[in-house]
Structure 1
Amino acid sequence: MISDPAPEPDSSPAIGSDDTRVSLRRDGDRVAVYLPTACTDTGSADWPDVWQQFASCLQASEVFWQPNTTVVLYARDRLLDSRQLQAVSSLLQKSELLLRRVDTSRRQTAVAAATAGYSVEQRSPNSLFAAAADVTGEPRRAEPLYVRTTIRSGMEVRHSGSLIVWGDVNPGGAAIATGDILVWGRVRGIAHAGAQGDRQCTIAALYLEPTQLRVADLLARPPQTPPDAPEVAYVSPQGIRIALGRNFHRTYAYVPAKRCWEER
């Protein structure tokens, strides 16, 4: 079973409705905040203009939201640093709204958000990444996303490509990628590689102690014994297996016809 993607916003009336202005809309029990795209036919809005729109839009909509409602920030292609994200969070808190997730097509924004402790989904710039294919017919992926942070409980990092985490994935946290996952630390939460069905993808970590391990459409039970060396989770003919990371690619080869890895 593939992990469900973040819900798409519904079609409820929005305060602001195009991609040139800040807009807010209800998304189930959450609030979705859309920032204008960085580049449009009418030019790009500078951050001070975007900030003023955001403040005015938020003030006008305060009566519509319940206190402590979760917020998803759709930053689109706009580049945001940690200070701007903190400013957005602080302004939302004044309206008793809680920023929890950042959806972006910019790598720098994704890294800044993950480092600040927010759940992150980095999408392709044209939002058609998942459906696109290269000349070989294989799904195209974004460049690997590198984040230097610990994915804590309640935090989720998603990426349309391979994901590299310099830190741990704690219980209650999740690392999800359409490509490979490499964790330079401990995996004690959820790790899901090949989230669009690619069984060639692997999960590698210094210590694999997951609460849930997935590759493509397959699910594995946590290992019974604690690891004492770096390991790789991969799809074998019998399902997901874990092998020592040392010399993995010398020992195993992926067989496309069987959609699994086998010993050479």
Structure 2
Amino acid sequence: MVRHALGADPPSGGLELDCGDWTLGVTLLARITQQLQAAGLILSQLRCRDASTYVAGSAQGWRCVLDEPATGSEPAAAPPGRPVHVHRGTIRSGEQIEVEGALLVVGDVNPGARVSASGDVLIWGRLRGMAHAGCRGERAARIVALQLRPVQLRIADAVARGPEDPPPLGVTEQAQLVENEIHISPAELGRPLIAG
């Protein structure tokens, strides 16, 4: 596929891959990257409008840009009674975001920053600040991040410090309550959101 698109004499160097609305998973993106490298090209940035593609690229450590949907297309509506609030960009030290429902941060949460939601907290970036899921008492809420290394985690009334070990490469992690303690494990990405 890549060989056909590049022709017999492809250019060399960095490349921005614009996926548009295509949904590309980790496996397919890895194969495309291998073919690009075989042709002497290095993927410098992944640009897309699909959140799943953004997560797959970010999980592999690529610089990713999530573009707005194309003009004229409507974003998918949240299920009734389950609001999902989206924040695009890095949340810096001293900044706080608190929402009713689930919170999706497309960016990093830096040390000194705080995010909280009555439902799930999803971070498509690095969590290095403080996150509180289920802030109104929803014990089934969870915190998911591409890199989960917070100062502090809270789920409902449970509190824990972040792990000391470096995060596993390419593994999205989640924190959830198990027997009244916060446990970190590989994320269940197909699980429905809890909006609190």
TM-score normalized by the length of structure 1: 0.40
2:120 to 180, 199, 203: 180
1:242 to 175, 179, 184: 184
Listed as ranges, the matches of 1:14-93 within 5 Å are: none
Aligned in 2, Cα 1:157/1:244: closer, same or farther, shift over 3 Å? same
Q: Following superposition, which runs of at least 4 residues in structure 1 exceed 6 angstroms of deviation?
A: none
C-alpha contact (below 8 Å) 1:141/1:160 kept by paired residues = no
- 1:234: Cα distance to partner? 0.2
Code of the aligned partner of 1:191: A
TM-score normalized by the length of structure 2: 0.53
2:91 to 121, 146, 151: 151
Distance in 2 of aligned mates of 1:206 and 1:163: 15
Cα root mean square deviation, aligned: 1.8
Aligned in 2, Cα 1:193/1:231: closer, same or farther, shift over 3 Å? same
Please tell me whether residue 230 in structure 1 is matched to residue 176 in structure 2.
no
Aligned in 2, Cα 1:247/1:193: closer, same or farther, shift over 3 Å? closer
- 1:171: Cα distance to partner? 0.2
- 1:248: Cα distance to partner? 7.6
Partner of 1:206: 146
Distance in 2 of aligned mates of 1:247 and 1:172: 27
Listed as ranges, the matches of 1:76-115 within 5 Å are: none
1:161 to 101, 106, 112: 101
Distance in 2 of aligned mates of 1:192 and 1:155: 14
Distance in 2 of aligned mates of 1:247 and 1:193: 17
- 1:238: Cα distance to partner? 5.0
Match of 1:227, SS state, is coil
Distance in 1 of aligned mates of 2:125 and 2:189: 19
Partner of 1:197: 137
1:30-80 Cα shifts (integer Å, max 9, x gaps):
xxxxxxxxxxxxxxxxxxxxxxxxxxxxxxxxxxxxxxxxxxxxxxxxxxx
- 1:222: Cα distance to partner? 1.2
Code of the aligned partner of 2:165: T
Distance in 2 of aligned mates of 1:191 and 1:205: 10
Larger gyration radius, structure 1 or structure 2? 1
Aligned in 2, Cα 1:156/1:216: closer, same or farther, shift over 3 Å? same
- 1:178: Cα distance to partner? 0.4
- 1:149: Cα distance to partner? 1.1
C-alpha contact (below 8 Å) 2:158/2:180 kept by paired residues = no
Q: Which runs of 5+ in 1 are unaligned?
A: 1-139, 250-264
Q: State percent identity of aligned pairs.
A: 45
1:93-146 Cα shifts (integer Å, max 9, x gaps):
xxxxxxxxxxxxxxxxxxxxxxxxxxxxxxxxxxxxxxxxxxxxxxx9661100
Distance in 2 of aligned mates of 1:206 and 1:236: 21
Distance in 2 of aligned mates of 1:238 and 1:205: 21
| Larger RCO (CA within 8 A; separation ≥ 6) | 2
Number of residues paired by the alignment? Answer: 110
